[in-house]
Amino acid sequence: MSSNGKHALITGNSRGIGRGIALRLAENGVNVAMNYVQNKSAAEDTLAQVRERGADGFIVQADVSRPDSIKEMLGKVESEFTTLDIFVSNARPEMPDFYSAPMDLTRDQLDRAMDSQAKAFLVGTRESVRLMPDGGRIIAIVYAPGGQFGSWQPWAAMGSAQGATVSLCRYFAVALAKRGITVNAISPGATDDSVLSGLPPEVFQMIKDWSSDWTPNGRLGTPADMGNAVSLFCSEDASWITGQTILVDGGASLMDPVFPLAIQQG
Protein backbone atom coordinates (compact mmCIF):
# COMPACT_ATOMS: atom_id res chain seq x y z
CA MET A 1 0.00 0.00 0.00
CA SER A 2 1.36 3.43 -0.88
CA SER A 3 1.03 6.33 1.51
CA ASN A 4 -1.21 8.69 -0.49
CA GLY A 5 -2.90 9.98 2.65
CA LYS A 6 -4.01 6.59 4.00
CA HIS A 7 -5.20 6.51 7.61
CA ALA A 8 -5.69 3.58 10.00
CA LEU A 9 -7.21 3.04 13.42
CA ILE A 10 -5.92 0.06 15.39
CA THR A 11 -7.47 -0.76 18.74
CA GLY A 12 -5.28 -2.13 21.50
CA ASN A 13 -2.03 -1.35 19.73
CA SER A 14 0.20 0.12 22.40
CA ARG A 15 2.11 -3.18 22.52
CA GLY A 16 2.24 -6.74 21.21
CA ILE A 17 0.35 -7.70 18.07
CA GLY A 18 -1.31 -4.29 17.78
CA ARG A 19 2.09 -2.59 17.86
CA GLY A 20 3.42 -4.99 15.22
CA ILE A 21 0.51 -4.06 12.95
CA ALA A 22 1.00 -0.33 13.52
CA LEU A 23 4.70 -0.49 12.69
CA ARG A 24 4.14 -2.52 9.52
CA LEU A 25 1.49 -0.14 8.25
CA ALA A 26 3.75 2.81 9.10
CA GLU A 27 6.45 1.26 6.92
CA ASN A 28 3.90 1.44 4.10
CA GLY A 29 3.38 5.14 4.76
CA VAL A 30 0.05 4.76 6.57
CA ASN A 31 -0.69 7.24 9.36
CA VAL A 32 -1.99 5.46 12.46
CA ALA A 33 -4.39 6.30 15.27
CA MET A 34 -3.26 4.23 18.24
CA ASN A 35 -5.76 3.19 20.88
CA TYR A 36 -4.87 2.28 24.44
CA VAL A 37 -6.83 1.80 27.66
CA GLN A 38 -4.34 2.32 30.50
CA ASN A 39 -0.74 2.14 29.27
CA LYS A 40 -0.26 5.62 27.84
CA SER A 41 3.54 5.45 27.93
CA ALA A 42 3.54 2.28 25.79
CA ALA A 43 1.21 3.96 23.29
CA GLU A 44 3.52 6.98 23.15
CA ASP A 45 6.48 4.68 22.53
CA THR A 46 4.61 3.02 19.65
CA LEU A 47 3.83 6.44 18.20
CA ALA A 48 7.53 7.35 18.38
CA GLN A 49 8.40 4.17 16.47
CA VAL A 50 5.72 4.94 13.88
CA ARG A 51 7.30 8.34 13.33
CA GLU A 52 10.74 6.77 13.03
CA ARG A 53 9.35 4.86 10.05
CA GLY A 54 8.28 8.06 8.31
CA ALA A 55 4.55 8.00 9.10
CA ASP A 56 2.58 9.96 11.68
CA GLY A 57 -0.45 9.56 13.91
CA PHE A 58 -1.76 10.12 17.40
CA ILE A 59 -2.77 8.17 20.50
CA VAL A 60 -6.33 7.97 21.79
CA GLN A 61 -7.56 6.52 25.07
CA ALA A 62 -10.74 4.43 24.86
CA ASP A 63 -12.29 1.35 26.44
CA VAL A 64 -13.72 -0.54 23.47
CA SER A 65 -16.06 -2.50 25.73
CA ARG A 66 -18.09 0.71 26.05
CA PRO A 67 -20.00 1.92 22.95
CA ASP A 68 -19.84 5.56 24.06
CA SER A 69 -16.05 5.30 24.36
CA ILE A 70 -15.78 3.84 20.85
CA LYS A 71 -17.87 6.69 19.45
CA GLU A 72 -15.70 9.26 21.22
CA MET A 73 -12.60 7.56 19.81
CA LEU A 74 -13.97 7.70 16.26
CA GLY A 75 -14.90 11.33 16.84
CA LYS A 76 -11.24 12.09 17.53
CA VAL A 77 -10.21 10.09 14.47
CA GLU A 78 -12.57 12.22 12.40
CA SER A 79 -11.20 15.47 13.80
CA GLU A 80 -7.58 14.39 13.27
CA PHE A 81 -7.78 12.41 10.02
CA THR A 82 -11.16 13.42 8.48
CA THR A 83 -11.28 10.05 6.71
CA LEU A 84 -10.36 6.50 7.71
CA ASP A 85 -9.13 3.84 5.27
CA ILE A 86 -8.32 0.95 7.62
CA PHE A 87 -9.97 -0.25 10.83
CA VAL A 88 -8.26 -3.07 12.76
CA SER A 89 -10.16 -4.44 15.77
CA ASN A 90 -7.49 -5.95 18.00
CA ALA A 91 -8.12 -4.87 21.62
CA ARG A 92 -8.97 -7.39 24.30
CA PRO A 93 -9.07 -7.29 28.11
CA GLU A 94 -6.40 -8.69 30.38
CA MET A 95 -6.53 -12.42 31.12
CA PRO A 96 -8.11 -12.22 34.62
CA ASP A 97 -11.13 -10.42 33.16
CA PHE A 98 -12.31 -13.46 31.19
CA TYR A 99 -10.00 -16.46 31.70
CA SER A 100 -12.11 -19.15 33.36
CA ALA A 101 -13.29 -22.67 32.55
CA PRO A 102 -16.96 -22.93 31.53
CA MET A 103 -18.13 -24.46 34.82
CA ASP A 104 -16.54 -21.56 36.70
CA LEU A 105 -17.27 -18.81 34.19
CA THR A 106 -19.29 -15.90 35.52
CA ARG A 107 -21.79 -13.80 33.60
CA ASP A 108 -19.56 -10.78 34.19
CA GLN A 109 -16.59 -12.54 32.58
CA LEU A 110 -18.67 -13.57 29.59
CA ASP A 111 -20.08 -10.06 29.29
CA ARG A 112 -16.57 -8.60 29.43
CA ALA A 113 -15.44 -10.86 26.60
CA MET A 114 -18.51 -10.19 24.45
CA ASP A 115 -18.44 -6.45 25.10
CA SER A 116 -14.76 -6.16 24.15
CA GLN A 117 -14.95 -8.41 21.08
CA ALA A 118 -18.18 -8.99 19.13
CA LYS A 119 -20.03 -5.91 20.42
CA ALA A 120 -16.93 -3.72 20.07
CA PHE A 121 -16.46 -4.95 16.51
CA LEU A 122 -20.10 -4.23 15.71
CA VAL A 123 -19.97 -0.65 16.99
CA GLY A 124 -16.42 0.00 15.78
CA THR A 125 -17.17 -1.16 12.26
CA ARG A 126 -20.34 0.91 11.92
CA GLU A 127 -18.64 4.02 13.28
CA SER A 128 -15.55 3.48 11.08
CA VAL A 129 -17.57 2.96 7.91
CA ARG A 130 -19.09 6.39 8.43
CA LEU A 131 -15.60 7.86 7.78
CA MET A 132 -14.44 5.29 5.23
CA PRO A 133 -14.26 5.87 1.48
CA ASP A 134 -15.08 3.07 -0.94
CA GLY A 135 -12.36 0.45 -1.02
CA GLY A 136 -11.61 0.56 2.71
CA ARG A 137 -10.35 -2.32 4.81
CA ILE A 138 -11.78 -3.77 8.04
CA ILE A 139 -9.87 -6.51 9.85
CA ALA A 140 -10.60 -8.35 13.11
CA ILE A 141 -7.80 -10.08 15.01
CA VAL A 142 -9.21 -13.25 16.59
CA TYR A 143 -8.21 -16.72 17.72
CA ALA A 144 -10.52 -18.68 15.44
CA PRO A 145 -9.95 -22.19 16.91
CA GLY A 146 -11.32 -20.87 20.21
CA GLY A 147 -14.71 -20.57 18.55
CA GLN A 148 -14.52 -24.02 16.95
CA PHE A 149 -13.10 -26.32 19.62
CA GLY A 150 -13.53 -26.74 23.35
CA SER A 151 -10.13 -28.04 24.39
CA TRP A 152 -8.73 -24.79 25.81
CA GLN A 153 -11.28 -24.69 28.61
CA PRO A 154 -10.41 -21.33 30.26
CA TRP A 155 -10.75 -19.65 26.84
CA ALA A 156 -14.50 -20.34 26.83
CA ALA A 157 -15.63 -16.72 27.12
CA MET A 158 -13.11 -15.31 24.65
CA GLY A 159 -13.56 -18.19 22.22
CA SER A 160 -17.32 -17.65 22.20
CA ALA A 161 -16.92 -13.88 21.78
CA GLN A 162 -14.41 -14.19 18.97
CA GLY A 163 -16.52 -16.84 17.27
CA ALA A 164 -19.31 -14.27 17.19
CA THR A 165 -16.85 -11.70 15.80
CA VAL A 166 -15.87 -14.02 12.94
CA SER A 167 -19.57 -14.46 12.14
CA LEU A 168 -20.06 -10.68 12.09
CA CYS A 169 -17.13 -10.37 9.66
CA ARG A 170 -19.03 -12.47 7.15
CA TYR A 171 -22.24 -10.46 7.52
CA PHE A 172 -20.44 -7.13 7.26
CA ALA A 173 -18.50 -8.41 4.23
CA VAL A 174 -21.78 -8.89 2.37
CA ALA A 175 -23.29 -5.64 3.64
CA LEU A 176 -20.29 -3.54 2.53
CA ALA A 177 -19.34 -5.38 -0.65
CA LYS A 178 -21.00 -2.90 -3.00
CA ARG A 179 -18.73 -0.19 -1.61
CA GLY A 180 -15.64 -2.28 -2.20
CA ILE A 181 -14.92 -2.39 1.55
CA THR A 182 -13.46 -5.76 2.50
CA VAL A 183 -14.02 -7.33 5.92
CA ASN A 184 -11.77 -10.18 7.02
CA ALA A 185 -10.39 -11.85 10.14
CA ILE A 186 -6.82 -12.83 10.94
CA SER A 187 -6.29 -15.64 13.43
CA PRO A 188 -2.79 -15.72 14.92
CA GLY A 189 -1.36 -18.95 16.19
CA ALA A 190 0.68 -18.96 19.40
CA THR A 191 2.40 -15.58 19.30
CA ASP A 192 5.17 -14.04 21.38
CA ASP A 193 4.44 -10.72 23.10
CA SER A 194 0.68 -11.27 22.94
CA VAL A 195 -2.21 -11.98 25.32
CA LEU A 196 -0.43 -15.26 26.06
CA SER A 197 2.28 -13.27 27.79
CA GLY A 198 -0.25 -12.73 30.59
CA LEU A 199 -0.11 -16.42 31.48
CA PRO A 200 2.22 -17.60 34.28
CA PRO A 201 5.82 -17.72 32.96
CA GLU A 202 6.04 -21.50 33.30
CA VAL A 203 2.85 -21.92 31.23
CA PHE A 204 4.09 -19.55 28.53
CA GLN A 205 7.36 -21.47 28.40
CA MET A 206 5.39 -24.69 27.85
CA ILE A 207 3.67 -23.01 24.88
CA LYS A 208 7.03 -21.95 23.44
CA ASP A 209 8.45 -25.46 23.81
CA TRP A 210 5.35 -27.05 22.29
CA SER A 211 5.31 -24.63 19.37
CA SER A 212 8.87 -25.53 18.43
CA ASP A 213 7.74 -29.16 18.01
CA TRP A 214 4.14 -28.84 16.83
CA THR A 215 4.42 -25.91 14.41
CA PRO A 216 5.99 -26.90 11.06
CA ASN A 217 7.86 -23.59 11.00
CA GLY A 218 9.33 -24.47 14.39
CA ARG A 219 8.69 -21.29 16.37
CA LEU A 220 6.16 -18.95 17.90
CA GLY A 221 4.67 -16.28 15.72
CA THR A 222 5.71 -12.65 16.26
CA PRO A 223 3.82 -9.34 16.18
CA ALA A 224 5.72 -8.58 12.97
CA ASP A 225 4.24 -11.73 11.35
CA MET A 226 0.75 -10.45 12.13
CA GLY A 227 1.63 -7.00 10.82
CA ASN A 228 2.70 -8.57 7.54
CA ALA A 229 -0.64 -10.39 7.26
CA VAL A 230 -2.61 -7.19 7.87
CA SER A 231 -0.45 -5.41 5.30
CA LEU A 232 -1.37 -8.05 2.73
CA PHE A 233 -5.09 -7.64 3.42
CA CYS A 234 -4.73 -3.87 3.06
CA SER A 235 -3.05 -4.07 -0.34
CA GLU A 236 -4.88 -3.46 -3.59
CA ASP A 237 -4.08 -7.04 -4.58
CA ALA A 238 -6.41 -8.25 -1.80
CA SER A 239 -9.46 -6.28 -2.97
CA TRP A 240 -11.20 -9.49 -4.12
CA ILE A 241 -10.82 -11.22 -0.74
CA THR A 242 -13.60 -10.60 1.77
CA GLY A 243 -15.47 -12.45 4.50
CA GLN A 244 -12.53 -14.79 5.09
CA THR A 245 -10.63 -15.93 8.17
CA ILE A 246 -6.93 -16.53 7.55
CA LEU A 247 -4.90 -18.55 10.05
CA VAL A 248 -1.44 -17.01 10.45
CA ASP A 249 0.13 -19.80 12.47
CA GLY A 250 3.22 -21.14 10.70
CA GLY A 251 1.25 -24.21 9.65
CA ALA A 252 0.26 -25.32 13.17
CA SER A 253 -3.36 -25.82 12.11
CA LEU A 254 -2.20 -28.30 9.43
CA MET A 255 -1.14 -30.82 12.05
CA ASP A 256 -3.41 -33.73 13.00
CA PRO A 257 -4.02 -34.03 16.77
CA VAL A 258 -4.99 -37.71 16.43
CA PHE A 259 -1.50 -39.01 15.65
CA PRO A 260 1.78 -38.60 17.55
CA LEU A 261 4.13 -35.96 16.21
CA ALA A 262 6.82 -38.55 15.58
CA ILE A 263 4.55 -40.24 13.03
CA GLN A 264 3.43 -37.00 11.39
CA GLN A 265 6.92 -35.59 10.96
CA GLY A 266 8.43 -38.82 9.65
Q: Is residue 266 part of a domain?
A: no
**Domain-located, residue 140:** yes
Give me the CATH number covering residue 190. 3.40.50.720
What is the domain count for the chain?
1
Q: Is 259 within a domain?
A: no
More confident residue, 144 or 86: 86
Each residue's pLDDT tens digit, 49-58: 999 999 999 9
In a domain, 204, yes or no: yes
The pLDDT, as a whole number, for residue 4 is 58
pLDDT tens-digit readout, 1-60: 444 579 999 999 888 999 999 999 999 999 999 999 999 999 999 999 999 999 999 999
Per-residue pLDDT band at 135 (split at 50, 70, 90)? very high
Q: pTM here?
A: 0.94
- Does residue 265 sit within a domain? no
Q: Is residue 258 part of a domain?
A: no
Mean pLDDT across the chain, nearest whole number? 93
In a domain? residue 1: no
Give the Cα-Cα-Cα angle 136, 137, 138 (nearest 5 degrees).
130
Count Cβ atoms within 10 A of the Cβ of residue 218 and give its class: 0-12 exposed, 13-18 middle, 19 or more buried: exposed
Most trustworthy range by pLDDT among 89-103, 167-181, 183-197? 167-181
Top pLDDT among 176 and 259 is at 176
Position 126 pLDDT exceeds 80: yes
- pLDDT one-digit tens code per residue, 155-189: 999 999 999 999 999 999 999 999 999 999 999 98
Percent of the chain at pLDDT above 70? Answer: 98
Residue 152 within a domain: yes
DSSP string, the chain: ---TT-EEEETT-SSHHHHHHHHHHHHTT-EEEEEESS-HHHHHHHHHHHHHTT--EEEEE--TTSHHHHHHHHHHHHHHHSS-SEEEE-----GGGT---TTT--HHHHHHHHHHTHHHHHHHHHHHHTTPPTT-EEEEE--GGGGT--SSGGGHHHHHHHHHHHHHHHHHHHHTGGGT-EEEEEEE-SBSSSGGGGS-HHHHHHHHHHHHHHSTT-S-B-HHHHHHHHHHHHSGGGTT--S-EEEESTTGGGS-TTS-HHHHT-
Q: Give the residue numbers spanning the domain of 93.
A: 7-252
